[in-house]
Structure 1
């Protein structure tokens, strides 16, 4: 009798797992599959903390499978490759983003848009093709089909590069496919957090005029002086919003809160575009007149395909685009989640997996 999928997952690893919707993370012994012919085995060194990790571990999207090991901003080194792997070798600096598999044969996959595949397998919290539950990057290692592995250019530090595998591609892809990457265009970035601060950097890399739109006046100096934005609008200021009406070619909306849309759409020029990458919990209320009257467009975008993810990293290296991060140890992860819930991070937490996960696991065992 052929071994079951679970029996093939014999490689021991350790992860930080949530056991229930409390979201509390603690070390857990897990297993990974053996090295398949097309697989890349990665020793994880860093993993970014995305806000969706917080939503997931607390089951706020009502799709949680426990125990859950989150994390889809994975950076590390290749430890082993399967016999058919041609793009990577042992020691290469690599990353894994929001997906680890797809059908690899549908129209979307064939066009390089694996992110649109009906059979997409997210990096964690879903049933993989072999019937096992995927575990994410808050763990010591991972085994991934080579198609879903990207190479980090030598000039990008792994810790600062890890968040680009979610935050970076999430803002890069809509800028590329909606024509918001043209030098001289005026780009608005709504929200200055993990996604927004990277959008500012890519906008400037494309040679655009970039205006940050934020409800937090305290972020103005940082947006202008540290991140390089050209202008800053306080969204609560009626005068500032009025002065900027009909001035922007496009807006990347990174906000996950439910906010009035009409004042923001008025910032767009005729034929302007607002692209949603944030995920508010409640449906948005938008008057048709806000779009129809000046031929404005409202669209959404979800991460990007593997070809675009590699392209994004290569462009980031060329223009020195990385995430602004706070590196933490594995033992600090629950405190980091509490701070993230309060937006108390500038702008992405990154877990130092390589240096701290084993120590945290050993400490947890000793405390039992």
Structure 2
């Protein structure tokens, strides 16, 4: 079967290529319907990812956040029309100690391997998680990002001490929003505080117990555990504040990505016995837990809908280019493409 793949060939230039894809028993054919643009996609699109990485990874189809409908399953395990979220991580080996998203051999879509900007996705059946029939597919489009926060929470649950009365989340962007929402949903009796710096963004965190400006933290404020969702240079200041406010033997979950090394006050990490927990990407188990929360707490999907910044219908390559350009100037939320190309 000839499949059309929409690949980034150089910064801000997408071209149609044709790929002969075989239909095999171990794969399901999915028609993408809703795709969400991620900051990582934008770094490739704008050419800011780095010249060496661009040379190595392009040409490549972008997007690793997406949902679709089953078009064909040779084993008939997934009925045609089933709504699914597609897991971009493709492990090629099992390790009893290392999760699939930390194996160096794993392949990740839109990071050296073609992402979801294609007419059809030929995907392993173990990389699909079934969605509720009535879910808002524009919200479901960024389930991958949600699963990243869920993965970090799961790692926290495995490694942190059991005193969990209060959480602090640093970062008032998309990831901070999702992390706060899921902490409050999974730990309804605990206090969740968001720490940020942008007034109109903090106004979206209505479900949190408290919102505090990072330059106006009350004297003597304490938290049991912290989640750093700031990223970039801001991650250094966030970690520094968490170390100051966290109680002894608390944990700090690190989610924000920084392109450059940052300084950490290891003296106080040692003095307080703080545990630093790194998290990156997610696996199929995290996607399944995310969808389970969608089903058990439908209000979560309603809250997540406030993250939709704009929805753009894409029927041509030019529409896709326009979506990426428009996303660059968006001040809040996610840009979702209704994939009708």
Which category describes the TM-score, using the shorter chain as reference length?
0.7 to 0.9
* CA–CA distance in structure 2, aligned partners of residues 75 and 181 of structure 1: 36
- The alignment's C-alpha RMSD in Å is 2.5
Determine if contact 2:223/2:247 at 8 Å carries over to the other structure.
Answer: yes
Equivalent residue, structure 2, for 1:19: 9
**How far does residue 329 in structure 1 lie from its aligned partner after superposition?**
2.3
**How far does residue 263 in structure 1 lie from its aligned partner after superposition?**
2.2
Equivalent residue, structure 2, for 1:327: 311
**How far does residue 241 in structure 1 lie from its aligned partner after superposition?**
2.1
* CA–CA distance in structure 2, aligned partners of residues 317 and 234 of structure 1: 33
Equivalent residue, structure 2, for 1:243: 219
After superposition, residues 198-237 of structure 1 pair within 5 angstroms as 198-206=178-186, 207=188, 208-224=190-206, 228-235=207-214, 237=215
Aligned match for 1:273, one of 220, 242, 251:
251
Secondary structure in 1 matching 2:126:
helix
After superposition, residues 94-173 of structure 1 pair within 5 angstroms as 94-99=84-89, 101-107=90-96, 113-126=99-112, 134-165=113-144, 167-173=145-151
Secondary structure in 2 matching 1:212:
strand
Which moved further from structure 2: 214-223 or 114-123? 214-223
Q: Cα gap change, 1:125/1:262 in structure 2, threshold over 3 Å: closer, same or farther?
A: closer
1:90 aligns with 2:80: yes
**How far does residue 287 in structure 1 lie from its aligned partner after superposition?**
1.8
Equivalent residue, structure 1, for 2:171: 191
**How far does residue 184 in structure 1 lie from its aligned partner after superposition?**
6.5
Structure 1 gaps of 5+ residues are 1-9, 127-133, 358-368
1:31 aligns with 2:16: no
Equivalent residue, structure 1, for 2:231: 256
Q: Cα gap change, 1:244/1:82 in structure 2, threshold over 3 Å: closer, same or farther?
A: farther
Which moved further from structure 2: 272-281 or 184-193? 184-193
Q: Cα gap change, 1:181/1:36 in structure 2, threshold over 3 Å: closer, same or farther?
A: farther
Q: Cα gap change, 1:332/1:201 in structure 2, threshold over 3 Å: closer, same or farther?
A: farther
Determine if contact 2:171/2:230 at 8 Å carries over to the other structure.
Answer: yes
Determine if contact 1:78/1:93 at 8 Å carries over to the other structure.
Answer: yes
The alignment's TM-score, normalised by the length of structure 1, stands at 0.79
* CA–CA distance in structure 1, aligned partners of residues 164 and 135 of structure 2: 27
Structure 2 gaps of 5+ residues are none
* CA–CA distance in structure 2, aligned partners of residues 184 and 32 of structure 1: 52
* CA–CA distance in structure 1, aligned partners of residues 161 and 44 of structure 2: 32
Secondary structure in 2 matching 1:63:
helix
* CA–CA distance in structure 1, aligned partners of residues 171 and 4 of structure 2: 37
**How far does residue 217 in structure 1 lie from its aligned partner after superposition?**
2.7
Secondary structure in 1 matching 2:230:
coil
**How far does residue 242 in structure 1 lie from its aligned partner after superposition?**
4.1
The alignment's TM-score, normalised by the length of structure 2, stands at 0.85
Secondary structure in 2 matching 1:243:
coil
* CA–CA distance in structure 2, aligned partners of residues 32 and 209 of structure 1: 53
Determine if contact 2:36/2:337 at 8 Å carries over to the other structure.
Answer: yes
Aligned match for 2:59, one of 63, 67, 84:
67
